[in-house]
Copies of this chain bind each other. A is one copy, B any other.
Amino acid sequence: MMDFPLTLDVILRRAETIHGDRPVVSRLEDKSLHRYTYAQMAQRAKQLATGLQSLGVNPGDPVATLCWNHYRHLEAYFGVPLSGAVLHTLNLRLHSDDLAHIVNEVQDKVLIVDKSLLDIWHQFESQVNVSHVVVVSDDNIVPEGTLGYEDLLSMGQPTTEGLPELKENQAASMCYTSGTVGKPKGVVYSHRALTLHTLGAGLTNAFELREEDCILPAVAMFHVNCWGFPYLAAMIGAKLFLTGPHLDAESLLDAFHSEKVTVAAGVPTIWHAVLNKLDENPQRYELSALRKLFVGGAATPKSLMQEFQQRHNLRLVPAWGMTETTPIGTISNTRAEPFGSPDEEDFTRRVRQGSPVPFVEIRARGTEGIIPWDGKTMGELEVRGPWIAKAYYKRPDASDRFTKDGWFRTGDIVSIESNGSMKIEDREKDLIKSGGEWISSLDLENAIMSHPAVAEAAVIAVPHSKWSERPLAAVVVVAGKTVTAEELRDFLQPLVAKWWIPDSFKFIDEIPKTSVGKFAKAALRKRFVES
């Protein structure tokens, strides 16, 4: 068989030649829409690659981006790896000290930054040493001392001639974890991992994207390859809608409606906001084209899934992944058993994170070793596969996250059913160890959030002299409604074991969130436990 390397230029060539007339739509900062085709994107990606080469970027050099989701960021997704360089997406929600640390650790040579995000750059500019700052600007006017993105493109040519031959195991991109524990850690993705991830993510038991689809990733291109959607959409030729900075519910719903979006993906907080906006005015949006809303980044609350389905006939599909898994690990899509049964009947099954996609393998380790797949026993999820990290970038101190026999320890506490359908019971660090037993903070949160007066709830462990730890619930009440701790205790009685019911309820205005929209439990611990 031919020695045909698995590299991203194959996907770009396909997008240009087979799906060349399919559209890419971007919402710009001023909310206007920019439209072009994959053929145009490919031409410009090649100009970017050769332009970077003229700038002195060599194979292996890291090129950072600090950008929202838009067509120029898409060009960087292809153009930077095409030049042999490494696309390094910076998370614009991280603290500037973290950004400085990351840029220094990676030694980024070039930074491509949105003009509207220059303020973030200026906060850590003095702490780092970047050779070239390239500014993406809708009006083509850029500050002195920087290079305009369009000027960089005009330094290049729409050709791959003169570009280095790519090897499948060379680095194509990198991304840092959102750093919920300790300093953010870097993960380097090879061309091979990204292309195999694209093939896996396109299968019917994963995202099942088709050429006639329109995909709107309501997930950031600055985080973990935007869940692989840019590469998948290009390989399949699906229409791609990029949101710019406009991730508010109204902008998303407008796009769903007017661009006939068929598939979207986001974290639960995004879908909470969309649900609220839909509830305000259910008739305003025509969403019959929308067939799947993928949910990841945090466990999907069952009530959210039910409300979407029952009130708006929209289907949420939970998925699971991490920065370390490129990210697609499992999708709750694989199995409808018994086939043909009405989905509404089994939200409990559908809200699980689902089965691994082909070529990802899972197992979980409990106190007694590898757990059985009985749907009950809990253990820490371990994964392996061709797009799973085998180490962190320059962090030998974190080698305990990888087992000796070659699996990645995820830190997620799960149960697994007999057909491999996995459920995140908790993050290892969020689990409440009470009296020798485990309480899933997630399950408890979901039970509390199913109360009609509760908007959001986060449960954390509080040290306890007798039980070792006990749960505390931080609760956000729906505007205009009221509920007491006593009422919540009564409400929980039939839903969870008696000893799971929190000793303490704290009513707060908002659950603090991390840079990627997850509950920031560390902040809650600081407020309610350590203070």
Q: Which residues between 207 and 256 of chain A lie within 8 Å of chain B, taking CB atoms?
A: 208-212, 235-237
Residues of B within 8 Å of A237, CB to CB, are 205, 334-335
Q: Are A419 and B21 in contact (CB under 8 A)?
A: yes
**Bound form: Cα–Cα A386–B237 in Å:** 20
Add 11 more A-B contacts to A1-B386, A3-B390, A204-B204 (CB < 8 A): A1-B193, A1-B387, A2-B384, A2-B406, A4-B359, A13-B361, A196-B199, A199-B359, A202-B204, A205-B237, A211-B336
Q: List 23 A-B contacts (CB under 8 A).
A: A1-B193, A2-B384, A2-B386, A4-B359, A4-B384, A4-B385, A6-B196, A14-B358, A14-B361, A18-B334, A18-B355, A18-B356, A20-B418, A195-B359, A196-B199, A199-B199, A199-B358, A202-B203, A202-B204, A203-B236, A205-B236, A212-B336, A212-B340
The 4 closest A-B pairs by CB, nearest first: A1-B193, A4-B386, A199-B199, A18-B420
Chain A binding site: helix, strand, loop or mixed by DSSP?
A: loop
Q: Which residues between 501 and 528 of chain A lie within 8 Å of chain B, taking CB atoms?
A: none
Per assembly, the copies of the chain total: 2
Asked if A10 lies at the interface with its beta carbon under 8 angstroms from chain B, I say: yes
**Bound form: Cα–Cα A234–B235 in Å:** 24
Residues of B within 8 Å of A196, CB to CB, are 6, 199
Residues of B within 8 Å of A361, CB to CB, are 10, 13-14
Q: Are A204 and B208 in contact (CB under 8 A)?
A: yes
Residues of B within 8 Å of A10, CB to CB, are 359, 361
Residues of B within 8 Å of A17, CB to CB, are 373, 420
Q: Which residues between 327 and 371 of chain A lie within 8 Å of chain B, taking CB atoms?
A: 334-336, 339-340, 355-356, 358-359, 361
Residues of B within 8 Å of A83, CB to CB, are none
Residues of B within 8 Å of A434, CB to CB, are none
Residues of B within 8 Å of A471, CB to CB, are none
**Bound form: Cα–Cα A335–B211 in Å:** 7
Residues of B within 8 Å of A423, CB to CB, are none
Residues of B within 8 Å of A13, CB to CB, are 361
Asked if A190 lies at the interface with its beta carbon under 8 angstroms from chain B, I say: yes
Q: Are A200 and B203 in contact (CB under 8 A)?
A: no
Q: Are B419 and A20 in contact (CB under 8 A)?
A: yes
Asked if A115 lies at the interface with its beta carbon under 8 angstroms from chain B, I say: no
Q: Smallest CB-CB separation from A239: which chain B residue?
A: B339
* Distance to closest chain B CB from A355 (angstroms): 5
Q: Are B2 and A385 in contact (CB under 8 A)?
A: yes
* Distance to closest chain B CB from A83 (angstroms): 20
Q: Smallest CB-CB separation from A359: which chain B residue?
A: B10
**Bound form: Cα–Cα A336–B210 in Å:** 11
Residues of B within 8 Å of A326, CB to CB, are 1
**Bound form: Cα–Cα A326–B4 in Å:** 14
